[in-house]
Chain A
Amino acid sequence: MTSTTSHIPRFDSLQVGDTLPALELEPVSRLMLALYCGASGDHNPIHVDIDFARSAGQADVFAHGMLSMAWLGRLLTNWVPPSALRSYGVRFAAITHVGDRVRCEGRVTEKFEAGGERRVRLELSTVDQDGQVKLTGDAVVALP
């Protein structure tokens, strides 16, 4: 796989409404959640310990919101290097469950200049196999 820095999109070639290449993930597995638990340092047991999850009134463990935010971050950094990112935020709208197939999507909503740079604003989301929106967000990216 090549690195991201060789094919940065050009500001002039983008239009409002353009979409980013979507990122489709494998179904959420317990292994994914265990790996993310260790790698992220987020050891909240509700994501990996079904006994704890049940004690909290949940039927099963569920994915870290920040794992989905990391996947959406991959959508961004597949498109531009992280040095081009000016801001990135999400709202966690619904829980992502074990077995869900997550798709990350992005769309250009605004082209503008700020801080002496040409920037675009992106609307972001993750949706599951039924089209339910799990995360909504936005990002601002500086482009050449």
Chain B
Amino acid sequence: MIDRSFIGHTLPAFDVRVEAGRLRFFAKATGQTDPLYVDEEAARAAGLPGLLVPPTFLFCLEMDAPDPAAIRNLLGMDYRKLLHGEQQFTYHAPAHAGDTLRFEQRIEDIYDKKGGALEFVVRRTQVHNQNDARVAELRTVTVLRNA
């Protein structure tokens, strides 16, 4: 069983710069062809400071943490038994290529179902930009299959 004393644990904050090339690669991988996601001139012509960050890309940036396995290792969770159960985003301000985003992660809850066969870890991540403006909040539910 995952140690419940980690409920409320916060991880060291980290900064991630949003790179245009990475956004173009993400657009290719997800079939996104709208020029605002791939063409910097088109984005600037539309009055944007840089390429648009698509709605789910904040989750990808969160995985650019110095140690993306930090929580998994902290809680002793095996990759082979993990599933992504739920993912939510609450948006406060758009993000663009060129931004530097700060991620603050907190383990919000750990609980189990089916007599411990399934354990759930809920993580909440606050994202601010270089101007200290709130960009988004992420809520991630990871499922550990013990059975």
Interface residues of A (CB under 8 A from B): 1, 3-5, 25, 32, 35-36, 38-42, 44-46, 55-57, 65-67, 69-71, 73-74, 76-78, 81-83, 85-92
Contacts and interface: CB of A to CB of B under 8 A. Distances in A.
A92 B29 contact: no
Nearest to B30: A70
Given A40-B60, A69-B56, A86 B90 contact: yes
Given A71-B30, A82-B94, A85-B91, A92 B63 contact: no
Given A70-B54, A81-B36, 17 more contacts: A1-B35, A3-B42, A5-B36, A36-B30, A40-B29, A46-B79, A46-B80, A56-B79, A66-B60, A67-B30, A69-B87, A70-B56, A71-B31, A81-B52, A85-B55, A87-B90, A91-B86
Nearest to B26: A39
Contacts, number: 120
Contacts of B74: none
B144 to A, nearest CB: 13
B59 A66 contact: yes
A18 to B, nearest CB: 21
Contacts of A35: 25, 28-29
A36 B25 CA distance: 9
Interface residues of B, number: 41
A107 B128 CA distance: 31
13 contacts: A1-B33, A3-B36, A5-B36, A35-B25, A39-B22, A39-B26, A42-B60, A66-B87, A67-B29, A73-B30, A76-B55, A77-B55, A85-B89
Given A1-B35, A73-B55, A87 B91 contact: yes
A66 to B, nearest CB: 6
B64 interface: yes
A55 B33 contact: no
Contacts of A4: 34, 36
A83 B136 CA distance: 12
B25 A56 contact: no
B56 A66 contact: yes
Given A40-B60, A41-B64, A73 B22 contact: no
A82 B80 contact: no
Nearest to A1: B33
B30 A82 contact: no
